[in-house]
Structure 1
Amino acid sequence: MSPIEQIIKNESVEDVVSYFALFRPAQAVDRMYGRHRQEIILNGELVNTYNSLFSDGVLASDEHGKTVKGPNWKAPQFITENKYS
Structure 2
Amino acid sequence: MNTISEIVTNESPTDVILWLARRDGISHPRLDNLYNRHAWVNIGDCLQLMNLIKKMIDEGLIQQGGYGYIKGPNWREPDFLTQKKYVL
TM over 0.5: yes
Q: In structure 1, list runs of 5 or more residues that go unmatched.
A: none
Q: What is the TM-score with the length of structure 2 in the denominator?
A: 0.79
Query: Take 1:84 and 1:32, find their aligned partners in 2: how far apart are those partners?
Result: 18
Higher relative contact order (CA 8 A, sep 6+): 2
Unaligned runs of 5+ in 2: none
- Aligned mate of 2:64, from 46, 61, 64: 61
- Range that drifts further, 15-24 or 36-45: 36-45
The one-letter code sitting in structure 2 at the alignment partner of 1:50 is I
Looking at secondary structure, tell me which structure has more helix per residue. Answer: 1
Identity %: 32
The one-letter amino acid paired with 1:55 is D
Q: Give secondary structure in 2 for the equivalent of 1:29.
A: helix
